[in-house]
Amino acid sequence: MATEPRRQHDGPYRNLPDRAVWGQSVGRRPIETIFPVDEHTAPLARDTRVASAGSCFAQRIAEHLGGLGLDYLVTEPGPAFLAPDDARRLGYGVYSARYGNVYTAAQLVQLAERAFGHFEPAEPVWAEGERFVDPFRPGIAAAGFVSPEECLEDRSQHLAAVRTLLLTADVLVFTLGLTEAWRCRADGAMLPVCPGAGHGGTFAPSRYEFVNFRVDEVVDHLDRFVTLARTHNPELRLILSVSPVPLVATCSDRHVLTATAGSKAVLRVACDEIRRRHERIDYFPAFEIVQIGGPDWAFESNRRAVKPTAVRHIMDCFALQFGLEPAREPLASIPRPAPSAPAVVCDEDEIVALLARERNPR
């Protein structure tokens, strides 16, 4: 009995582009030839005013944006008399403004609310010996301020610079880093680091609480930010990414590896959800690039710090996605750290130092 010839499939999987098929676009390809980018993304013009903020890994992105031919916006450059290395150690030039690391979407929206005068946290300036620290930017000046008044005056100038940034930027590149955070019980003010874990402050359960944001909460924070920012700058475009850097420690009841996976999953889903709500929001897959590259390709021996070669490929992917020429050198106008200084300023590293002191008391 003759068999009927097999009919050619005419469903939705017929003639898929290579980028939609694992074996064609990922499979056994060398990581340097994998470019998992959205080909439908609107390109960025070379004169686009781009600002950036986010978690520690966002510093790596900031270092390269201007090298792609973009107009990297810095509204808080610091005093002209400071040498570049000194300026960076004081938090100038690390990002577009001197806000330090912004780890959560909750921090981001509160930063915008403070800049436009919609929120004034009740948390006082922290004392650190004879010096004083801004609780919302504890890592910007290791030596602190000489008085609470100096700290508050510097904060006022900083928030004015943030306001200018949000009013004049064409694009904000924001890298989400964490879902775990600490906030003040009195008014919900978000802190970038647990009080007492590093640059000042004293932890008190009656004053501070641990939070681990869910998807709907992260989406709400991003939604509030977009709505507020576009009230003042209607054409602002947002480029979101998720930091590939694992948690340094977790205050949840899970293993740090599981906690990291859960946190990144929440942030990744939140990015997709906020894109469905608003136009002119793009997603850039820095997290996915590192994951497919694997730990040996992506990370240093501590399995946390991202290798420069991995950062370079990530930014080459960024250039491809947004129609730019890949850069060979980072942005020269952003101060680079001295060889003896850490390449990335990370508030979470204070937790590592704290744990080391507790485990090896003198």
Which residue has 């507020």 as its token pair? Answer: 228
Torsion angle defined by CA atoms of residues 37, 41, 47 and 51, in that order, rounded to the nearest 10 degrees: -70
The pLDDT score that the predictor gives to residue 13 is 86
pTM (predicted TM-score): 0.89
The pLDDT score that the predictor gives to residue 325 is 85
Rounded average pLDDT over 110-139:
95
317-354 burial, b for 16+ CB within 10 Å, e for fewer? bbbebbebeebeebbeebbebeeeeeebbbbbbbbbee
pLDDT tens for each residue of 243-272: 999 999 999 999 999 999 999 999 999 999
Domain ranges of the chain: 37-356
The pLDDT score that the predictor gives to residue 6 is 60
pLDDT higher than 60, residue 359: no
pLDDT higher than 60, residue 324: yes
pLDDT tens for each residue of 129-141: 889 999 999 988 7
